[in-house]
Amino acid sequence: MINVRDLAYGRIGAPDLDRMEEFLLDFGMVRADRTKNALYMRGTDGDHHHLHVTELGDPVHIGMAWWAKSEEDLEKIARAPGASNVHEIDEPGGGKRVTLPDPDGRIIEVIHGMEVAEDLPVRDVIINDGKHKFARTDLQRVSANPGQPSTVKRSAHVVVKTKNLKKFNEWYQSTLGLAASDHIMAPDELSNNMMTFNHIDAGDEYVDHHVLLGIQSENAEFNHLSFEVADFDDVNTGHNFLQSKGYKHAWGVGRHVLGSQIFDYWRDPWGRIHEHFTDSDVVNNTHEGGRWEVNVGLNNQWGPEFPEDFVDDPHLHVL
Ligand SMILES: [Fe+2]
């Protein structure tokens, strides 16, 4: 029906907004706004008002929001089954929105016209490597260990489980215009699709390898929200900082195979995974996706092995 421009934010619930804000500040976000009932956090990129919303309430995953390219696209998406009318967003940042359910019942928001903000300053990253030995001649001083959070730049992708991956992919591809990047197949059963990475279809423009990963499962649970940070040092300074604060680590630091991101996953105070990454593969409409065996798809190029409890976390239900 439409081709969304990008992921805008994830929306989750938490019974204690102070505690959630403390985690997100330690994770490397900045408060954009807070009301009695909700917390809005931003990153350093100014092309959005916020990239993370927490509503006061049960610790569930509520849904996610996507940027429409135009207001006309909001009119189009409002004709999808179960969609609301186009309406004003009665929240900080304003703008207009249509809400509609995805096949698992998550609340999907498609938004347009939300306020934008100023970029926040980020240090210039220059790395000397073996080939570019003198790219930087001043001293490298990124952090006093373990002195500072990461610098969250932007909201990058969402990973959720779905009861019907085929329907899930068809819906996101035909309704929001996403395109498949790669598939992970069940062990010894290469016709059985277990997971699909989807990217934004921006034609010949390059975008992140994935903006949405669906995982076939018995329950439509949430898995993680992912945020790009400034650079490789920033992943690691954030890791040490979150460790020093006693948060629960989920997986990392490592480099994925599919998408190639250098990743690090942390759990918020209610166990919901939030990811830092840097250096994603980018793809465009010439990308030829593949079908990968699960041990390739979930493996690393380097880093710790995939932990058993990463996907099967019984208390993280979507609804
Ligand atoms: Fe991820």
DSSP 92-134: TT--EEEEEE-TT-PEEEEEE-----PPPP--------SSSTT
pLDDT of amino acid 123: 86
Q: At 125, is the pLDDT very low, low, confident or very high (cuts 50, 70, 90)?
A: confident
Q: At 41, is the pLDDT very low, low, confident or very high (cuts 50, 70, 90)?
A: very high
Centre of ligand 1 from the C-alpha of residue 137, in Å: 34
Residue 315 has pLDDT above 50, yes or no: no
Q: Does 23 reside within a domain?
A: yes
Summary mean pLDDT of the chain: 93
CATH code of the domain covering residue 189: 3.10.180.10
Q: What is the pLDDT of residues 227-243, one digit of tens each?
A: 999 999 999 999 999 99
Q: Does 136 reside within a domain?
A: no
pLDDT of amino acid 14: 97
Centre of ligand 1 from the C-alpha of residue 158, in Å: 7
Q: Which candidate, 8, 19, 2, places its Cα nearest to that of 270?
A: 19
CA angle in degrees (0–180, nearest 5) for 183-185-189: 150
Q: Does 131 reside within a domain?
A: no
Q: Does 84 reside within a domain?
A: yes
Centre of ligand 1 from the C-alpha of residue 280, in Å: 10
pLDDT of amino acid 190: 66
Centre of ligand 1 from the C-alpha of residue 87, in Å: 31
Q: Taking residues 92-119, what's their average pLDDT?
A: 97
Strand partners, 226: 157, 275
Residue 145 has pLDDT above 90, yes or no: no
Q: Under the phi-then-psi rule, with left for phi > 0, alpha for psi from -120 to 50, and beta for the rest, what region is 146?
A: beta
Question: Do 121 and 179 form a contact (C-beta atoms < 8 A)?
Answer: no
pLDDT of amino acid 186: 84
Contacts of 129 (CB under 8 A, 6+ apart): 135
Q: Does 277 reside within a domain?
A: yes
Centre of ligand 1 from the C-alpha of residue 226, in Å: 5
Centre of ligand 1 from the C-alpha of residue 209, in Å: 11
Question: Which one is predicted more confidently, 285 or 316?
Answer: 285
> Which residues are found with C-beta within 5 Å of the ion, ligand 1?
226, 275
For residue 68, CA distances in Å to 109, 123, 135, 270 come to 10, 31, 40, 31
Centre of ligand 1 from the C-alpha of residue 251, in Å: 11
Q: Taking residues 157-164, what's their average pLDDT?
A: 96
Centre of ligand 1 from the C-alpha of residue 38, in Å: 25
Residue 318 has pLDDT above 50, yes or no: no
- DSSP secondary structure letter of residue 228: E
Q: What percent of the chain has pLDDT over 90?
A: 86
Give the span between the Cα atoms of 80 and 2, in whole angstroms.
10
pLDDT of amino acid 192: 85
Domain count, the chain: 1
Give the span between the Cα atoms of 148 and 125, in whole angstroms.
17
Centre of ligand 1 from the C-alpha of residue 199, in Å: 13
Q: What is the pLDDT of residues 167-214, one digit of tens each?
A: 999 999 999 999 999 999 987 776 788 999 999 999 999 999 999 999
Q: Does 133 reside within a domain?
A: no
Residue with tokens 């929105």: 97
Q: Does 180 reside within a domain?
A: yes
User: If DSSP states are collapsed to H, E and C, what string results for 169-194?
Assistant: HHHHHHHCCEEEEEEEEECCEEEEEE
Q: Is pTM, for the whole model, over 0.85?
A: yes
Residue 70 has pLDDT above 80, yes or no: yes
Query: What's the one-letter identity of residue 199?
Result: H
Residue 66 has pLDDT above 70, yes or no: yes
Centre of ligand 1 from the C-alpha of residue 161, in Å: 13
Q: Does 44 reside within a domain?
A: yes
Centre of ligand 1 from the C-alpha of residue 58, in Å: 24
pLDDT of amino acid 44: 97
Centre of ligand 1 from the C-alpha of residue 36, in Å: 31
Q: Which residues span the domain enclosing 250?
A: 6-118+151-310
Centre of ligand 1 from the C-alpha of residue 159, in Å: 7
Residue with tokens 């669906």: 214
